[in-house]
Structure 1
Amino acid sequence: MIVIFLFAGALLFACSMIFMKRGTNKIIWITVGLILSIGSVVLITLNYNTYLGMKTVSKTQTFPLTSSIRGKHVLLYQQIGTKDERIYYYATNPLQQKLYKTNPTTDKIKLTHKSNISQLKITRTYRVYRNEEMRLLFSNGVPNHQFVNQHYEFKLMPGWQVQKLNSSPKS
């Protein structure tokens, strides 16, 4: 919708500059077209850079954490690069064959070793439009329900080990 306002403002500005005779009406229509065009460009830029009209929404899920290796209490990770960038391999069901893994580029990870039960808490953050008017106005720029980041919190009972993995497991 904001693009339609931009197009209408540019068309109004151009047509009033070219086709109208000199006078007060011409100045008023040129000003309206210019304000509409510049205002639309400013709103598009603000929406693109600062997510104008959007709010962040978080959704948290908690899962029981089971060992990555059967018969042991182990959480596996694979070192990526030289810093704290790691891929963690985890399971939430003891019967599952496939291990899930974290993404070091978008996920934030926290390990806690003193917990009563072993569990995994996943918090996903999204950007959504504040209301239907904002969605209607800016729907061509930034999509609704846009993923921002994901936060993993591994709560491990005493006795669990965090072990480095040399080769890639089944995932």
Structure 2
Amino acid sequence: MILILLMLGLLGFIVGFLALKHRAQRWIVGGASLLILVMAASLMIGNDTQHWGMQPVTKTTTTPLQSAVKNDYVSLLLYQPIKHATTEKVYVYRPVNQTKRQHTAADLTTHVTVQTSKANTAVLTTKTTRWAYRNAAWRWLFSATGNHTTLIKRRQIFSLPNHWATLSVSQAQWLAKQAKALKATEQTTMATKVKQLRSADPSLSATQAKAQVERQLNQQTPSVLAKLIKQAQQQSKY
């Protein structure tokens, strides 16, 4: 509608001052059209630069997460440094029940925070603030002028349980190699210890001996894993 008013004001101004013969008609039609033209142009400029008729509206969404990559020992949130920046990062995550990974935006309107929570599941809380029209009248007035949902800011908060870890893509690749080696070592250790237990106590079945060894290895896993993650975080993040 604002564009129609702008065109009507322009046409009325031209016709009023150039086509009409009587002086009074010229000033009435031309003057009124000039006023409409100025008002319409001012409203367009104000809407475009100062967001007249609009207000910030914030929408909050919560997305449950699963590990960004498959790892038998730990769930991971990944990040990739932007070029060789020390603080600017793009975080890589995967929503629950989805195979495709997603990433945060690398722009000045997006602020990302990673925090630890006491919950058992990881979630991403996204608060998006955009400009929106105050009411239907303002929306109708500027209905044909372009984008009406300009992004103001986006706040993304990753809330991760204690058993999650945050690593760069490069660090996660290093950890995956170490985890594979650890799994192979555990299998060798289990076979050896099962034999030792059955040799020391022939009354034990293979299943009973294996269960005992698994309990011992499971008790050792948290400390070994903590050490591996700490070593991974000390690797180059690039």
**Same fold flag (TM > 0.5):** yes
Task: Give the superposition deviation at 1:146.
Answer: 4.0
Judging changes above 3 Å, is the alpha-carbon distance between structure 1 residues 96 and 140 closer, same or farther for their aligned structure 2 residues?
closer
Amino acid at match of 1:165: V
Q: Which residue of 2 aligns with 1:75?
A: 77
Q: Which residue of 2 aligns with 1:36?
A: 36
User: Greater share of helix residues, 1 or 2?
Assistant: 2
Q: Which residue of 2 aligns with 1:64?
A: 64
Q: Which residue of 2 aligns with 1:100?
A: 102
1:116 paired with 2:111, answer: no
Q: Which residue of 2 aligns with 1:9?
A: 9
Q: Which residue of 1 aligns with 2:87?
A: 84
Secondary structure at the residue paired with 1:65? strand
Task: Give the superposition deviation at 1:149.
Answer: 3.8
Amino acid at match of 1:4: I
d(CA) in 2 for partners of 1:98, 1:20: 67
Secondary structure at the residue paired with 2:92? strand
Q: RMSD over aligned Cα, in angstroms?
A: 2.3
Contact 1:47–1:142 (Cα < 8 Å) also in 2: no
Count residues in correspondence.
Answer: 166
Judging changes above 3 Å, is the alpha-carbon distance between structure 1 residues 121 and 29 closer, same or farther for their aligned structure 2 residues?
same
d(CA) in 1 for partners of 2:111, 2:146: 24
Judging changes above 3 Å, is the alpha-carbon distance between structure 1 residues 47 and 142 closer, same or farther for their aligned structure 2 residues?
farther
Task: Give the superposition deviation at 1:159.
Answer: 4.1
Task: Give the superposition deviation at 1:142.
Answer: 3.2
d(CA) in 1 for partners of 2:28, 2:86: 61
Q: Which residue of 2 aligns with 1:26?
A: 26
User: Greater share of strand residues, 1 or 2?
Assistant: 1
Amino acid at match of 1:48: D
1:139 paired with 2:143, answer: yes
Task: Give the superposition deviation at 1:164.
Answer: 0.9
Amino acid at match of 2:129: T
Contact 2:112–2:157 (Cα < 8 Å) also in 1: yes
Q: Which residue of 1 aligns with 2:162?
A: 158
- The structure whose RCO (Cα within 8 Å, separation 6+) is larger is 1
TM-score for the superposition, normalised by structure 1: 0.84
- Give the stretch that moved more between structures: 23-32 or 9-18: 23-32
Amino acid at match of 1:119: V
Task: Give the superposition deviation at 1:101.
Answer: 1.2
CA deviation map 1:52-88 (0-9, x unaligned): 2222222211223322233313211001132522111
Judging changes above 3 Å, is the alpha-carbon distance between structure 1 residues 89 and 131 closer, same or farther for their aligned structure 2 residues?
same
